[in-house]
Structure formats: C-alpha cells, structure tokens
C-alpha cells in the first residue's frame, strides 16, 4: 500500500511511523523546512525556544516509552508550577483555596468562596456553553475574575459563544476542594507532573522524523499539498509543490493533518460548496509569539503564567530554563510571550520591533524585568492557525465537513488541524498510532 500523510506535525509523524512500520510505503509532506508543526521550535545564539509553551502530560506508558526512544535520552520530570497574574499578584493554577485564604486579596477571597459555596449548594450542572458550565462548577466570582477574561482574550469570542467542550479539554475536572486535598496530602494528580526533553520540545518531532526515515519512510520538507486528485470515491494521486516545482505521488491511502480548509481547497474535482462553506465557519485563532533572551539566570519559578488582564498584551508567559537548563546560555534565561490574535488583524500586522517593545514594556511594568536593558535579543514569529475555537455551533459545521469527507473511502483525518481537535501532544501521538493500527488489515491486504 502507498500511503501519503499531509502534514509532518506530531500526529502526522506518529501516523507515518506506524504506517511505515506496518508495511505501508509512506510519504509525509510537510510545508515547513523542519518537522513538528506547532510542536517545533528554533535554536539561535545559544537559545532554544519552543514555538509555544509545550510539555508532555500523560500516563500512557507506551507513548512515554516511544518518546524516550525517539529522543534518545531520558525525559526530564518536572513538578508543574503554573500561576495566574491577577492585579499584580501571582496565584496558583489550578486555583488553590489556600491562595484565596492567604489574605493577599480579602475581597477576592470573600467573593470567590461565597460564589463557590452558592454554586455547590445549588447543585447546578450548567449549560452547553463555556460560561454557564464553568460558572456552575466554580461560581461567578472566580469565572469573572479568571476563566472569563482569559478565555475571551485567548479566543476573541464572548464565553457565552464558546462550547463547553473547551472547558473539558483545558480546565481541570476536579473541584476546588478536591484539588486542595490532593495538595495537602501530596497525592499525585495528572495536572501536577510533566515530562520534558532536556534539549527542548522540538527534540520530539526531530526524533520522530529520524525514526520515520530509518524505517524507510520518505519525509519531504518544504513541500505543500497542491492538488488531491480523486476518481469516484477514492483518492489516487497527490500533487506536491516545492521550490523546485511540482511532483505527483500515487496514493492508495491519504491521511490528512492539515487544516480542513486546505484539504477541501486542494480536492480535484472540487468539493461541493456546502462543506467548503462549513469549514470556513470553523474559527481558528492565530498567535504572535515574542521570544526574549534575558541577561539573568532566572526570573520566575513558573513554567507558564496565565495573564487574563486585557491591558497586558500577552495572554501567556513561559520561562524556558524552568523546563530545562539547556534552553539558554549559562547565566541567561529565555521568555516566550504568546499573543492571541486573528490572522490579518492589527496585532498580527504590527511590525516585529513594536511587538517586542510592547511585550518588554509590559514585563517591566508588571515587575518581571527590572529594565529593558536586561533583554539582550528578541525574536518574533507568527502562526496563522494556532488554536481551534469551539464555538457553540462548531459541531454542526464540523459534522457537515466530516459527512462529505467520509464519502472519500481512503481518506483519514487526525491531529489538531486535520480533525479540528483541541488535544495534547501525547493525545496526538496516540491518535496517530491508533489510526495507523486500525488500518493494518488494509495495509496487509494491499501488500
């Protein structure tokens, strides 16, 4: 069987490895010059940066074993430190009752505890949207202080228009009391520990790419999908575009991890108007990332910090050397400030110098930096489709797209972009593996 995988991110690489090892002659097309997609990063001047704040959260023993095999060294284990910046103070996340009772903000504590008690006594289950679901779980004060402002800053949408599935995927399922008991007793919680490659998160897709090519697979970097030619209900050929021209690859199986709009736009003959329109209505959020090389060994103890304040440009801040000391030169640390926006809007178009200056100004104003002179270098990168946004009507649009694509018998979807799915790296690896294993019978029959 000849398999073609569109996209060399985590899910695409995972599926490609499993398909190649299962006997399929597999080609992966990746538009970027390096593997990994959004899970990649870059190295420059002794610094290593992940594109975003990445970590491996899983208890899947098979996935952990595979990742360590791919990177060729043991994963680092870290006890997560994540906090929220509110009114100039840092609060633990997931929200810790001890913070609220510490006296740092008496008014907030009283409002939060009263709201939480009221919602527990009412027994309300909440509705189908993000706002009502989390208000029913945590109370109005905590929602209005953190969950609401942060989510609107991240998604660019009112929380009443966001589906509750986002809360299920991004917010701890345990309540405030359960979380407190876990912390007081030292009980392990899936949200407490993370794994991380000492050489940076990009070591994972780099190792996956090596494993894929060693197994005999063909990885074509800087190659984008041009046309996907189909006859009847089956894809039979994929046209790839690169700087050196166009080439055609015969396909008995097509696995797509690229955005649904890209996939539909490449089909030949063209897809009907209804699924194309439905895919266009699935909202994604872009991201501008500003990276700073800082002349200080350490600024915080945090892996990442959430920033709901709309008056601060970035929505999340991470410090690289808290993940691994190898992420920066000796005596230096790195910061990544993530700025959610829409592709093409004013934030997206703002030039790199201004992006960096505004982030540095915010860091000085909030006390993370003593002065702008501590920053020795900056980098800026833009990502057009960073996050799928689960609006309350997204299932209707996604179902219409999926129903049409299901008529193409030898097409499979996986990954964050390909399946319009908000999942973790470990889940993406598992999804790719399981997809390929589910096809092993077809691969064997075609061999």
pLDDT tens per residue, range 253-283: 999 999 999 999 999 999 999 999 999 999 9
Burial per residue of 364-401, b for 16 or more beta-carbon CB atoms within 10 angstroms, e otherwise: beeebbeeeebbebbbbebbebbbbbbbbebeebbebb
138 CB contacts (<8 Å, ≥6 apart)? Answer: 95, 115, 116, 119, 147, 175, 176
Give the pLDDT confidence score for residue 446 in this predicted structure: 56
64 CB contacts (<8 Å, ≥6 apart)? Answer: 56, 58, 75, 195
Q: Which residue in 20, 70, 10, 13 sits closest to 439, CA to CA?
A: 20
Instruction: Report the range of poorest mean pLDDT among 117-126, 242-251, 291-300, 340-349.
Output: 117-126
Q: Which residue in 317, 287, 292 sits closest to 382, CA to CA?
A: 287
Average pLDDT, the chain: 90
* Three-state secondary structure call for residue 240: strand
Mean pLDDT of 3-24: 96
CA–centroid distance for 240 within its chain: 26
pLDDT tier at 359, thresholds 50, 70, 90: very high
CB 134 within 8 A of CB 295: no
Give the pLDDT confidence score for residue 137 in this predicted structure: 77
User: Residue 143 has what DSSP assignment?
Assistant: I
* Three-state secondary structure call for residue 231: strand
Instruction: Please give the helix or strand (H or E) that residue 196 lies within, else none.
Output: strand 193-196
The Cα 336–Cα 380 span in angstroms is 10
Instruction: Report the range of poorest mean pLDDT among 46-55, 72-81, 127-136, 195-204.
Output: 127-136
Give the pLDDT confidence score for residue 87 in this predicted structure: 84
**pLDDT, tens digit (0-9, with 9 covering 90-100), for 138-192:** 878 888 888 899 999 999 999 999 988 776 655 665 555 555 555 555 555 655 7
Q: How many residues does the chain have?
A: 447
Q: Which residue in 442, 421, 435, 415 sits closest to 18, CA to CA?
A: 435
Mean pLDDT of 398-418: 96
Residue with the larger pLDDT of the pair 361 and 165: 361
* pLDDT over 70 (residue 106): no
* Three-state secondary structure call for residue 129: strand
Residue 1 in tokens: 């069987």
CA distances from residue 74 to 57, 188, 306 in whole angstroms, order as listed: 15, 21, 29
80: preceding bond cis by omega (within 30 degrees) = no
Q: Is the dihedral of CA 143, 147, 153, 158 positive or negative?
A: negative
Instruction: Report the range of poorest mean pLDDT among 88-92, 181-185, 198-202.
Output: 181-185
The Cα 218–Cα 144 span in angstroms is 50
CB 33 within 8 A of CB 5: no
Give the pLDDT confidence score for residue 135 in this predicted structure: 83
Give the pLDDT confidence score for residue 98 in this predicted structure: 67
The Cα 347–Cα 379 span in angstroms is 16
Highest-confidence segment of 111-120, 174-183, 301-310: 301-310
Q: Which long-range contacts (CB under 8 A, 24 or more apart) does 148-154 make?
A: 148/308, 149/308, 149/309, 149/310, 150/84, 150/306, 150/307, 150/308, 150/315, 153/307, 153/308, 153/310, 153/315, 153/340, 154/285, 154/315, 154/340, 154/387
Give the pLDDT confidence score for residue 272 in this predicted structure: 97
Residue 279 in tokens: 């895919």
Give the pLDDT confidence score for residue 59 in this predicted structure: 87
Give the pLDDT confidence score for residue 122 in this predicted structure: 66
Sheet holding 284-294, edge to edge: 89-92, 82-86, 304-306, 316-319, 333-341, 284-294, 375-388
Q: Phi, psi at residue 319, to the nearest 5°?
A: -115, 120
The Cα 295–Cα 210 span in angstroms is 34
Residue with the larger pLDDT of the pair 178 and 133: 133
Residue 164 C-beta-side C-alpha neighbours within 13 Å: 12
Residue 300 in tokens: 């915080």
Give the pLDDT confidence score for residue 114 in this predicted structure: 75
Give the pLDDT confidence score for residue 356 in this predicted structure: 98
pLDDT tier at 289, thresholds 50, 70, 90: very high
Domains of the chain: 2-75+200-282+393-446 (3.50.50.60), 82-191 (no CATH), 284-388 (3.90.660.20)
**pLDDT, tens digit (0-9, with 9 covering 90-100), for 203-255:** 999 999 999 999 999 999 999 999 999 999 999 999 999 999 999 999 999 99
67 CB contacts (<8 Å, ≥6 apart)? Answer: 56, 75, 195, 197, 204, 207, 429
CB 294 within 8 A of CB 334: yes
């Amino acid at each position: 069987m000849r398999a073609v995988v569109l996209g060399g991110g985590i899910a695409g690489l995972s599926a490609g490895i499993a398909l190649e090892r299962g006997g399929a002659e597999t080609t992966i097309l990746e538009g970027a010059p390096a593997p990994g997609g959004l899970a990649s990063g870059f190295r420059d001047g002794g610094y290593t940066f992940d594109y975003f704040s990445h970590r491996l959260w899983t208890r899947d023993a098979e996935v952990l074993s595979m990742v360590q095999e791919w990177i060729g060294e043991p994963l680092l284990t870290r006890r997560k430190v994540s906090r929220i910046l509110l009114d100039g103070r840092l609060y633990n996340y997931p929200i810790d009752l001890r913070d609220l009772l510490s006296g740092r903000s008496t008014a907030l504590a009283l409002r939060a505890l009263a709201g939480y008690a009221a919602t527990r006594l009412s027994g309300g289950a909440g509705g189908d949207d993000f706002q009502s679901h989390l208000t029913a779980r945590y109370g109005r004060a905590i929602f209005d202080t953190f969950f609401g402002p942060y989510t609107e800053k991240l998604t660019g949408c009112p929380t009443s228009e966001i589906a509750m599935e986002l809360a299920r995927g991004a917010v701890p399922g345990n309540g405030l009391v359960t979380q407190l008991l876990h912390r007081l007793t030292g009980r392990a919680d899936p949200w407490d520990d993370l794994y991380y490659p000492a050489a940076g998160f990009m070591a994972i897709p780099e190792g996956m790419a090596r494993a894929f090519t060693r197994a005999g697979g063909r990885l074509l970097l800087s190659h984008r999908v041009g046309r996907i030619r189909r006859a009847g209900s089956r894809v039979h050929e994929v046209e790839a575009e690169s700087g050196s021209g166009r080439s055609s690859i015969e396909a008995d199986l097509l696995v797509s991890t690229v955005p649904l709009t890209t996939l539909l736009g490449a089909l030949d003959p063209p897809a009907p108007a209804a699924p194309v329109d439905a895919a266009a209505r699935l909202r994604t959020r872009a991201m501008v990332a500003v990276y700073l090389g800082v002349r200080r060994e350490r600024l915080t103890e945090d892996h990442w910090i959430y920033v709901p304040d709309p008056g601060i440009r970035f929505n999340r801040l991470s410090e690289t050397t808290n993940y691994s000391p190898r992420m920066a030169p000796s005596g230096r640390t790195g910061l990544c400030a993530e700025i959610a926006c829409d592709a093409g809007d004013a934030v997206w178009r703002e030039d790199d110098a201004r992006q960096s200056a505004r982030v540095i100004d915010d860091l000085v104003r909030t006390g993370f930096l003593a002065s702008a002179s501590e920053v020795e270098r900056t980098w800026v990168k833009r990502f057009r489709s960073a996050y799928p946004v689960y609006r309350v009507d997204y299932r209707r649009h996604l179902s219409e797209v999926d129903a049409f694509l299901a008529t193409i018998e030898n097409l499979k979807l996986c990954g964050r972009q390909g399946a319009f799915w908000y999942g973790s790296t470990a889940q993406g690896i598992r999804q790719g593996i399981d997809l390929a294993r589910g096809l092993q019978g077809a691969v064997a029959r075609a061999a």
